[in-house]
Amino acid sequence: MDSAAINDELICAVCRDVFVEPVTLPCGHNYCNECVNRLKKSALGNTARGRSHYTCPLCLAPCETEIELKRNVVLHNIIEKIYQQQLQSGANVFCSVCKGQQRAPAEKTCVSCGESYCSLHIMPHLENKFFLQHVLVSPTAETNRLCRDHGKELELYCKTDSTPLCVYCMLPSETKHLAGHDVVKLAEARHIVKEECLDKLGNMKENLSQVQGSLQKLDETASCSKDALEKQQQGYIGFLKKVKLFIDIEEKAWEKRFSVAKLQESGLIKHKAEKLEQLQTKLQEAVSAMEKALSNQDPVTLLQLLKNVAWNDLYQKGFCTAKIQEIMKGLTAEPDGSKRIPLFNSLRGTFSDEDITLDPKTAYPQLKINKELNAVVATREQHTEEPDSERSSSWFCVLGTGAFSTGLHCWEVTVRGLPSWAVGVAYRSISRDPPDSKLGSNDKAWALSYSKSRQHFCAQHNLLMYSFSVNKTPDKIGLFLDNDSGVLSFYDADLLECLYTFYCSFKAPVYPAFCPRFEKDTEFVTEAMRVRKSILF
């Protein structure tokens, strides 16, 4: 067989190209491994019709998709050897379109495309009108040395345009480089081109040096910034650890002091009680003796009792009153207010002492707010018909009166008995219309909600949503807001356990937000959602 016939046997019937990783089907025909995989995928896509096999494109013999095909080693080696022979024979220009390593030798090279094509893939350049203007030359790997307009070797150089030319570029029909242009031989312009390259090389090196310098400066800045942040972090964490240590020391010290104070108070009370009991016993004995003497009606005995020196004080009307005052002196039911922890006085000054009140102008029409503006109840009937742009039109929400833009704030909300609720903070510009008016459903509010029917909590801000449950449902929810640090934390106000913390970046003042009925399908209850400033002491 001649080489052409052999080459025909090395063509895959599916992709019509030289075999790449050939495998053999049970029927004996060979195909590229990737082509067989495509046939398998096509068959698996039709499993709804009961097909679990694919057919050979040549003989239509069925082949199960589960069968693992083996590579045809002999055919693979033949293709590899033919490829090596083509390299040794000097056919070192191969088709750029053929896939795999076994590419067919190129028949033509297109200077316009910068690609080489075999007899099969050159056909578009011969038949398609779009490619008729392209310049085809004998196969070559150095298309950069050929003129893109004429396909001839570049032998001339135009100093005016800094452009290499071929001899055909100087024909009278080609007028681009004739009038006023300085054209020389390319070999003579070597030093000019070299100088231009050296000049551009110098510019590139200078640019490279600037980029490297900037990268070095960026690394130094990043390193310094990282060191500064780590140092700042260590300082902050170290400071907080020391504060915790000092608070622990204060806690243990005051536990000791209060323990001693309670023992002393207990001892003092016991001592005073003993004195009162002694006085009580003495009076009881005197009363008993006097009643007994009176019952006997013996004047001698009565005179002896009246002359009893030990009872002289007991006969006095105001004696016991004075004695009791003397014993009870220094005893009080209220502790001394001057014994407050000094550290507490310092920390308390960092918290805002503003009272939290509700703003009726922002309340949903079915919300009833008390006169003190510190409690709200969801009801069936509407309590206002006045339209207001600040009033929610779809959710049982109300905002606080005051805005927080800086500092530390802490308040507590009573939610006991409410089947569903939500609390948090919001911008004044929060949407009043559905669906974004639901607290926490947009980027203008941060909220913690609770659903009794689902038995879970949900912390939500815009697209962030985190659901969780706790062992005991809190009766009071505490909120801690640090405007400057962007911290908003929710905690159980009775157990003092943190429930969830947001790490925010507030772009405007925020208002406390309250929703006593977060799910509209829950029942109406008479329990009110109450708010108060958190009392630290």
Instruction: Find the mean pLDDT for residues 78-98.
Output: 70
Distance from the first to the final alpha carbon of the chain: 105
DSSP state of 11: B
Instruction: Find the mean pLDDT for residues 407-434.
Output: 90
Instruction: Name the pairing type of β-strands 464-468 and 456-461.
Output: antiparallel
Instruction: Find the mean pLDDT for residues 98-112.
Output: 74
Q: Please tell me the predicted confidence (pLDDT) of residue 90.
A: 46
161: region left, alpha or beta (phi > 0 left; psi from -120 to 50 alpha) = alpha
Report the SS3 class of residue 306.
Answer: helix
**pLDDT range class, residue 535, cuts 50, 70, 90:** low
Most distant CA atoms of the chain, gap in Å: 168
How far apart CA 228 and CA 410 sit, in angstroms, is 32
Convert the pLDDT of each residue in 19-33 to its tens digit. Answer: 888 999 999 999 988
CA angle 160, 164, 169 (to 5 degrees): 90
DSSP secondary structure string, 354-419? PPP-B-GGGS-TTEEE-TTSSEEEE-SS-S-----TTS-SSSEEEEBSS-B-SSEEEEEEE-TT-S
How far apart CA 36 and CA 14 sit, in angstroms, is 9
Q: Is the pLDDT of residue 244 over 90?
A: no
Q: Is the pLDDT of residue 363 over 60?
A: yes
Q: Is the pLDDT of residue 103 over 80?
A: no
Q: Which of 332-341, 436-445, 491-500 has the highest mean pLDDT?
A: 491-500
Q: Topology of 3-88 in CATH?
A: Herpes Virus-1 (3.30.40)
Long-range contacts at 91-95 (CB < 8 A, ≥ 24 apart)? 92/141, 93/139, 93/140, 93/141, 94/118, 95/120, 95/121
Structure pTM? 0.51
DSSP state of 498: E
How far apart CA 135 and CA 113 sit, in angstroms, is 9
Nearest partner of 117 among 125, 108, 127, 129, judged by Cα: 108
Q: Is the pLDDT of residue 222 over 70?
A: yes
Respond yes or no on whether the N-terminal peptide bond of residue 335 is cis (omega within 30° of 0). no
Q: Please tell me the predicted confidence (pLDDT) of residue 112.
A: 77
**pLDDT range class, residue 411, cuts 50, 70, 90:** very high
How far apart CA 272 and CA 277 sit, in angstroms, is 9
- Class of the CATH-defined domain 360-533: mainly beta
- Length of the chain measured in residues: 537
Q: Is the pLDDT of residue 170 over 80?
A: no
Nearest partner of 379 among 363, 391, 390, judged by Cα: 363
Q: What share of the chain is helix, strand, coil (3-state, %, to 5)?
A: 35, 20, 40
Share of the chain above pLDDT 90, in %: 25
How far apart CA 213 and CA 54 sit, in angstroms, is 61
